[in-house]
Amino acid sequence: MIYFDNSATTSIYPEALEEMNRIYKDFYGNPSSLHRLGSNAEKILQKARETIAKTLSVSDDEIFFTSGGTESNNWAIKGSARANRRKASRILTTKTEHPSAIECFSYLETEGFSPELLDVNPDGVLDPYLVSEKINEKTSLISFILVNNETGAMQNLDEVIRAVRHKNPDTLIHIDGVQAYGKIPLNLSKTDADLVSISAHKIHGPKGCGALYIRKNTRIRPILHGGGQEAKYRSGTENVPAIHAFATAAEIIHERMDENRKNCKMLKNIIIDELTKEFGRDGFFVNSPDNAYEGILNISFPGVKAQVLMHHLEARNIFVSTGSACSSRKSVQSHVLKAMNLPKVNIEGAIRLSFSGFNTANEAISFTKAIREIIPVIRY
């Protein structure tokens, strides 16, 4: 099996799985309970919080555990917008965000907020000058994805933040770091961001677990109410085994970050080089920009439907994803690629390859061999 869909989810590190099972078995107490079993679970929870905080270079009391990236994005966007609506109701994001972020802006419009989706350039990057033009005294929040989940495009983080702070220092900045965390360095002590979302299952941790960094003194409201866990910010009994496994995976992937990036770059180069030899520079399209994170490669072939190609690859036990969402009733073009103003032929045939440290050069070569055999058969 060749698994090139690591942006969707990753296989769990064996060490993280082993640790998660150990906690499930031996430390099953509720961390809010006052007895010894609860105290032991609370210590494990706190240790995990410290570990995640260390990887981001922040204080442990700025890390709050959630059920994953979707909840973290929802909480960051809805919670901060609602907390600051008396000051301002204008909220900004880009047209290339993950659905878990962009749908929040659509929903908040029903609550009386004024969202605006900003254009990106052909590389999928937000122009700091545009940000500077759009930010004003009524802007309470701007949210943007750091590493795009479809193309790997990386935002000019420091430049965008400087543009925001120059126009309105009170505007909150939320970064969707789900595809960036553990893949590229994130030193939040040197990054003037207020909120950052991360997720466990993108870094070989378990599904159903994530975190939100909330900088001290940031105004934000809970979106879950109940027992007041997570310093009264996020109610619900913490998933201690998953959180511990999250921290275990975070330690491992940060230790291997440089090695993983080099491996991903090698795989990306092999695939582009081999496809260029076979099809020429005009025989396929690289939709990922030059500045893209090495682990994501979005490509398409003229005269080829992405879903058809994906299923032919699956028949050979090669797993990728399409660059556009698809349902049984209709095909929906990728909003990310459309926002980059790519031609229709690029968008219709787009597939996303996303790599991890577990992928090998032999897998990349096998993929290109399969492509050479499949494309002539399915091209219309």
Predicted pLDDT at 88: 85
- Mean residue pLDDT of the chain comes to 95
How far apart, in Å, are the Cα atoms of 125 and each of 7, 115, 118, 346? Answer: 19, 19, 10, 18
Evaluate whether 105 touches 133 at the Cβ level (below 8 Å): no
Range(s) within the chain of domains with CATH label 3.40.640.10 = 14-255
What does the H/E/C string look like for 26-57?
HCCCCCCCCCHHHHHHHHHHHHHHHHHHHHHC
How confident is the model over 48-75, as pLDDT tens digits? 999 999 999 999 999 999 999 999 999 9
Task: Tell me 189's DSSP state.
Answer: G
What tens digit of pLDDT does each residue of 253-302 get?
Answer: 999 999 999 999 999 999 999 999 999 988 999 999 999 999 999 999 99
- Catalytic-labelled residue, pool 104, 209, 264, 326: 326
Q: Which CATH class is domain 14-255?
A: alpha beta
- Identify whether 326 is a catalytic site residue: yes
pLDDT value of residue 258:
98
Residue intervals in the chain for CATH 3.90.1150.10: 256-378
Question: Is residue 322 within a helix (H) or strand (E), and if so which, with residue range?
Answer: strand 321-322
Per DSSP, the residues of 228-285 read -TTTTTS-S---HHHHHHHHHHHHHHHHTHHHHHHHHHHHHHHHHHHHHHHH-TTSSE
pLDDT by residue, tens only, the chain of 380 residues: 999 999 999 999 999 999 999 999 999 999 999 999 999 999 999 999 999 999 999 999 999 999 999 999 999 999 999 999 888 899 999 999 999 999 999 999 999 999 999 999 999 999 999 999 999 999 999 999 999 999 999 999 999 999 999 999 999 999 999 999 999 999 999 999 999 999 999 999 999 999 999 999 999 999 999 999 999 999 999 999 999 999 999 999 999 999 999 999 999 999 999 999 999 988 999 999 999 999 999 999 999 999 999 999 999 999 999 954 433 335 578 999 999 999 999 999 999 999 999 999 999 999 999 999 999 999 98
* The domain over range 256-378 is classified in CATH as 3.90.1150.10: yes
Per-residue pLDDT at 7 = 97
